[in-house]
Amino acid sequence: MLFGKNFSDHMFLMNYDENKGWHDPRIIPYQTLSLAPSTMVFHYGQELFEGLKAYRTKNGEIQLFRPEKNIERMNNTSRRLCIPEIDPSDALQAIKEIVKTDSDWVPHEADHSLYIRPFIIATDPFIGVKPSSTYLFMIILSPVGSYYPEGINPVKIYVENEYVRAVKGGIGASKAGANYAASLKGQDKAKHLGYTQVLWLDGVERKYIDEVGTMNVFFVIDGVVKTPALEGSILPGVTRDSCIHILKSWGYKVEETRVALQEIIDASRNGKLNEAFGTGTAAVISPIGTLNNGGEEIIINNAEIGPIAKKLYDTITGIQYGEIKDEFGWTLTV
């Protein structure tokens, strides 16, 4: 089942205008949108999205994983893009209602789920550069198969020295469509060079690690877990946050800090780079096996998944599918 190509029978819509605020929440059959060519979203990229999943548990129930974190981030993104915020309880209700309506679309197969895509677009039919005065909030649903049908394979990462994804003061901490437009070229370059993902460096000094592809990134150096701090250019991932909580509960030292690329290279040379992995909603955990920095390849943990990555993957997916006790209170039954 290819992610993102098939959609469920219904979708959620809610409109915004300056008089009524957010209004007219409704669930209708999945259908095309009719928009004027002058609609702002086509011209100035005033748009944002979120991504989360609904999981089928063994006893047939449907669970969400920390949806309030996605809603909080959606509103943070809205503020950065001059889009009006949505009441978090309204947003959560919308997610629950659309998933309930299309609950038959939540797959029963192991490791499958129903991807939930809330998004907001600017809808003024006006091509002056300013924040739109009208918006459309939508939620669409796409069933998704196992991310690792053949088991977890560590990925090959290319360190990008030319293109920059985001810079402090910009919109890199937001889930703005604009960030993804800006990331396509670097990602494309990595793919053409035979790498799975791009490793983004900071836009100011070009020596600190920001993200990997569309994921946050973690390194285990001499038993200590390090991940780039949220300093304004990095997306605050829900899986990132969950990993930090779980690792700390296991007694690991976790440092949210600036992580210099050179520190990773040095740790590798000294045999102290135990593991590296990306985190995100799609893959949950994506181990990094190879890192190419300007032609020099670093092999991490013999290009095999490490014990911490494996245990995090099993724990988070275990909680998501209701197979492991949710000690953190992260799941919500629909």
Cβ distance to a second copy smaller for residue 5 or 108:
5
Cβ contact 288:305 at 8 Å? no
Structure tokens at 154: 């560590």
Among 67, 170, 287, 289, binds a second copy (CB under 8 A): 170
Structure tokens at 68: 């309030």
Work out whether 131 is an interface residue with a second copy (CB under 8 A).
yes
**Which span (78-86, 147-155, 283-291, 318-326) binds a second copy, by CB under 8 A?**
78-86
**Which span (62-70, 91-99, 148-156, 169-177) binds a second copy, by CB under 8 A?**
169-177
Residue recorded with tokens 């063994």: 58
Footprint (CB under 8 A) of a second copy, residues 241-300: none
Cβ contact 275:220 at 8 Å? yes
**Which span (92-100, 125-133, 151-159, 259-267) binds a second copy, by CB under 8 A?**
125-133
Footprint (CB under 8 A) of a second copy, residues 183-222: 183-185, 187-188, 203-204, 206, 214
CA nearest to 102, candidates 154, 140, 59:
140
Among 10, 66, 165, 240, binds a second copy (CB under 8 A): 165
DSSP state of 71: H
Residue recorded with tokens 């548990």: 57
Structure tokens at 156: 């090959």
Q: Which helix (H) or strand (E) holds 56?
A: strand 52-56
CA nearest to 221, candidates 261, 161, 280, 249:
261
Kindly state the number of chain residues that form the binding site for a second copy, as judged by CB under 8 A: 64
Work out whether 169 is an interface residue with a second copy (CB under 8 A).
yes
Q: Is 27 exposed, middle or buried (0-12, 13-18, 19+ CB in 10 A)?
A: middle
Q: Which residues bind a second copy (CB under 8 A)?
A: 3-5, 7, 11, 30, 32-38, 41-47, 49, 80-82, 115, 117, 119, 121, 125-131, 138, 140, 142, 162-171, 176-185, 187-188, 203-204, 206, 214
